[in-house]
């Protein structure tokens, strides 16, 4: 039997059990989640060891903490949150019955997703909300939450998850979204970059596999094409690049501008596709220690996972009239130079970094992997319509800097919002950094600016990656894209409260400008949750 024959057999099994998943009692679906939690805890060390080998990380280094936090820990947190949601549904309640909601100044509803439990309060100063789309009421949101699990009459579907190769919790989290948010059984196809996860995830999802609800496979483009076009696959979710999405939907090749394209598939496809993520620093009067800490914060947002993140901050936006801007950049240079060395393991990274240097004569290089040097592009012209750093996701350790005018913090912020919306490719995530005095001076203007930013996650005084890490937050691009103009993607994942994706506009996360506890000089994922570089132990 060939590998493709095995694929056909696996899809036949999934098709046969698609309706079984719909009719499985909620209590049983919750018990299946418990098996994922227990199995993930059992394989966590093996998972992290495999991730470190695959990415060339010393398992005893602080960087290994990233693999704990963005691997098994992220899955454990998501499963625990989903279990609580299913318990509410099991007892006839809405997932939002215990949620705190507020009305925004423009009348929209915001659902608090962090802190949500007493345990969440241990992460001091952090909060998260999901902002619903204009016109969606609290009652409508509560009534629609968990709809796919409550509708036992719907047709069974087979969903295909084309997993990402960079962050190792993405494939299982996307699979959970297919199962519990969308109500579909799942074929997980791992990326060749991290297909070493296959035996680990097989153990994680063993109970689902035994029931015919999940299958896991590996392979390259031929396998992907076979799955995408297979008649037993009803829906598709991809985490990757715009180019990969378009190749799946329209076929390979780049059409001439303005040329209409006819889709090769007629199946619903959702996606999370990255982009050129900005981080905007608002002017203030900071101590030198604060400048250094916030510069390291920005460096960490770029260097986490060696820069191979769809939400890595790629463009730093500074105020032209901020007297401390040059000193901030000096500290940023030191942070890029002093960060521990990491391999540039992701395919194509050297070519992308080289292209950035070749198109920017003023590029500055700061160590790291000799083949994929950390790169700063310090003088990007915000008015240049052809600036490639504003339209190219470098997906590696390349960070650009541009400056914008503004006589006041509010005026600069308005200009920054316009610049991010109109000049930068993608709508996945944007960050803002501002000291408490500046935030007070903005007043309601901050929420107004956040509401104008066309991004699926907006982070204030923390990395956008915090939104990824919060299981009850939604994760995805700003709504409004379609397959012909996919941008940073279509739909949302994570979403442990099982909000209706069609009702969600964005997630907004906030962190403390002066985080506690104080941090040491490392660059693990845990430090990003704290806003600085703290070692995960």
Q: What is the CATH number of the domain that holds 70?
A: 3.40.605.10
Nearest alpha-carbon partner for 473 in 115, 185, 180, 123: 115
Phi, psi of 57 (to 5 degrees): -100, 135
Determine, yes or no, domain membership for 35: yes
State the residue range of the domain holding 207: 3-95+145-272
The per-residue pLDDT for 510 is 97
Flag the least confident range among 27-36, 120-129, 279-288, 515-524. 515-524
Pair 322, 259 in one domain: no
- Is residue 258 pLDDT above 90, yes or no? no
- Is residue 455 pLDDT above 90, yes or no? yes
Residues 489-521 as b or e (16 or more Cβ within 10 Å = b): bbbbbbbbbbbbbebbbbbbbbbbbebeeebee
Determine, yes or no, domain membership for 521: yes
Pair 267, 334 in one domain: no
Determine, yes or no, domain membership for 409: yes
- Is residue 520 pLDDT above 60, yes or no? no
Q: Are 377 and 400 in contact (CB under 8 A)?
A: yes
**In angstroms, rounded to a whole number, what is the distance separating the alpha carbons of residues 457 and 443?**
20
Nearest alpha-carbon partner for 501 in 270, 327, 329: 270
Pair 389, 464 in one domain: yes
The number of folded domains in the chain is 2
Pair 236, 291 in one domain: no
- Is residue 532 pLDDT above 80, yes or no? no
* Residues 6+ positions from 222 with CB-CB distance below 8 Å: none
pLDDT tier for residue 1 given thresholds of 50, 70 and 90: low
Locate 54 and state its tokens. Answer: 């695959």
The per-residue pLDDT for 356 is 98
- Is residue 10 pLDDT above 50, yes or no? yes
Number of H helices, E strands in the chain: 19, 19
Determine, yes or no, domain membership for 137: no
Pair 236, 341 in one domain: no
Nearest alpha-carbon partner for 130 in 105, 147, 113, 143: 113
Mean of the pLDDT values across residues 250-260?
Answer: 78
- Is residue 429 pLDDT above 80, yes or no? yes
Encode pLDDT of 126-141 as tens digits: 999 999 999 999 999 9
Mean of the pLDDT values across residues 338-367?
Answer: 96
Pair 267, 284 in one domain: no
The per-residue pLDDT for 517 is 57
Residue in the block written with tokens 């990824």: 468
- Is residue 2 pLDDT above 80, yes or no? no
pLDDT tier for residue 310 given thresholds of 50, 70 and 90: very high
Pair 288, 236 in one domain: no
**In angstroms, rounded to a whole number, what is the distance separating the alpha carbons of residues 129 and 127?**
7
- Is residue 59 pLDDT above 90, yes or no? yes
Determine, yes or no, domain membership for 524: yes
Pair 445, 381 in one domain: yes
Mean of the pLDDT values across residues 135-155?
Answer: 96
pLDDT tier for residue 121 given thresholds of 50, 70 and 90: confident
Q: Nearest 10 degrees: CA dihedral of 92, 97, 98, 100?
A: 170
Which H or E element spans position 188?
strand 184-189
Pairing of strands 214-217, 184-189: parallel
What pTM, to 2 d.p., does this model score?
0.95
The per-residue pLDDT for 4 is 78
Determine, yes or no, domain membership for 297: yes
Alpha carbon of residue 378 to chain centroid: 26
Phi-psi region of 495 (alpha: psi -120 to 50; beta: other; left: phi over 0): left
Mean of the pLDDT values across residues 331-342?
Answer: 95
- Is residue 530 pLDDT above 90, yes or no? no
Pairing of strands 157-162, 235-239: parallel
CATH number at residue 489: 3.40.309.10
The per-residue pLDDT for 58 is 95
Pair 402, 355 in one domain: yes
Determine, yes or no, domain membership for 477: yes
* Residues 6+ positions from 139 with CB-CB distance below 8 Å: none
401 or 255, which is more confident = 401
Phi, psi of 199 (to 5 degrees): -70, -30
Provide the percentage of residues in the chain whose pLDDT is more than 90.
Answer: 90
Pair 266, 306 in one domain: no
**In angstroms, rounded to a whole number, what is the distance separating the alpha carbons of residues 91 and 535?**
41
Pair 379, 496 in one domain: yes
Determine, yes or no, domain membership for 135: no
pLDDT tier for residue 3 given thresholds of 50, 70 and 90: confident
- Is residue 315 pLDDT above 50, yes or no? yes
Which H or E element spans position 80?
helix 74-90
Locate 237 and state its tokens. Answer: 């979710």
The last residue of a domain, from among 272, 287, 307: 272
Pair 293, 246 in one domain: no
The last residue of a domain, from among 272, 292, 311: 272
Neighbour count for residue 391 (Cβ, 10 Å): 14
pLDDT tier for residue 90 given thresholds of 50, 70 and 90: very high
User: How high does pLDDT run on average in the chain?
Assistant: 94
* Residues 6+ positions from 343 with CB-CB distance below 8 Å: 55, 56, 57, 306, 369
Encode pLDDT of 105-119 as tens digits: 889 999 999 999 988
The last residue of a domain, from among 212, 241, 272: 272
């Amino acid at each position: 039997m060939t590998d493709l024959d095995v694929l056909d057999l696996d899809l036949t099994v999934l098709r046969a059990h698609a309706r079984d998943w719909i009719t499985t009692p909620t209590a049983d679906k919750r018990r299946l989640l418990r098996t994922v939690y227990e199995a993930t805890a059992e394989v966590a060390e093996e998972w992290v060891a495999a991730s470190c080998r695959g990415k060339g990380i010393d398992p005893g280094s602080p960087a290994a903490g990233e693999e704990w936090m963005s691997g098994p820990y992220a899955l454990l947190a998501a499963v625990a949150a989903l279990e609580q949601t299913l318990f509410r549904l099991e007892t006839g309640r809405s997932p939002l019955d215990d949620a705190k909601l507020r009305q925004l100044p423009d009348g929209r509803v915001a659902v608090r997703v962090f802190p949500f439990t007493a345990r969440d309060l241990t992460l001091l100063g952090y909060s998260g909300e999901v902002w619903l789309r204009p016109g969606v009421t609290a009652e409508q949101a509560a009534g629609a939450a968990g709809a796919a699990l409550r509708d036992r009459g719907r047709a069974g579907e087979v969903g295909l998850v084309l997993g990402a190769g960079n962050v190792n919790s993405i494939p299982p989290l996307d699979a959970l979204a297919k199962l519990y948010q969308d109500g579909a059984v799942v074929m997980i196809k791992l990326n060749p970059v991290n297909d070493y996860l296959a035996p680990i995830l097989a153990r994680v999802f063993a109970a689902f596999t035994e029931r015919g609800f999940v299958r896991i496979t590996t392979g390259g483009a031929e396998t992907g094409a076979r799955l995408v076009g297979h008649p037993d696959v009803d829906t598709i979710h991809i985490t990757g690049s715009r180019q990969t999405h378009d190749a799946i939907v329209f076929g390979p090749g780049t059409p001439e501008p303005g040329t209409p394209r006819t889709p090769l598939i007629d199946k619903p496809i959702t996606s999370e596709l990255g982009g050129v993520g900005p981080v905007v620093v608002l002017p203030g009067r900071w101590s030198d220690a604060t400048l250094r800490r916030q510069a390291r914060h920005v460096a960490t947002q770029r260097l986490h996972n060696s820069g191979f993140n769809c939400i890595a901050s790629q463009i730093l936006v500074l105020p032209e009239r901020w007297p401390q801007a040059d000193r901030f950049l000096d500290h940023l240079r030191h942070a890029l130079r002093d960060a521990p060395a990491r391999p540039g393991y992701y395919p194509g990274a050297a070519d992308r970094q080289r292209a950035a240097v070749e198109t920017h004569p003023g590029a500055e290089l700061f160590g790291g992997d000799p083949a994929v040097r950390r790169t700063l592009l310090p003088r990007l012209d915000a008015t240049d319509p052809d600036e490639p750093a504003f339209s190219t996701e470098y997906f590696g350790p390349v960070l650009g800097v541009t400056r914008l005018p503004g006589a006041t913090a509010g005026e600069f912020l308005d200009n920054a919002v316009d610049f991010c919306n109109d000049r930068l490719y993608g709508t996945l995530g944007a960050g803002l950094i501002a000291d408490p005095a500046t935030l007070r001076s903005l007043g309601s203007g901050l929420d107004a600016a956040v509401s104008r930013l066309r991004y699926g996650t907006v982070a204030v005084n923390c990395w956008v990656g915090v939104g990824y890490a919060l299981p009850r937050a939604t994760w995805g691009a700003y709504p409004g894209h379609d397959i012909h103009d996919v941008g940073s993607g279509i739909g949302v994942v994570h979403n442990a409260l099982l909000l209706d994706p069609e009702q969600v506009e964005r997630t907004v996360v906030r962190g403390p400008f002066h985080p506690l506890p104080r941090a040491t000089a490392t660059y693990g994922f845990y430090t990003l949750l704290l806003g600085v570089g703290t070692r995960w132990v």
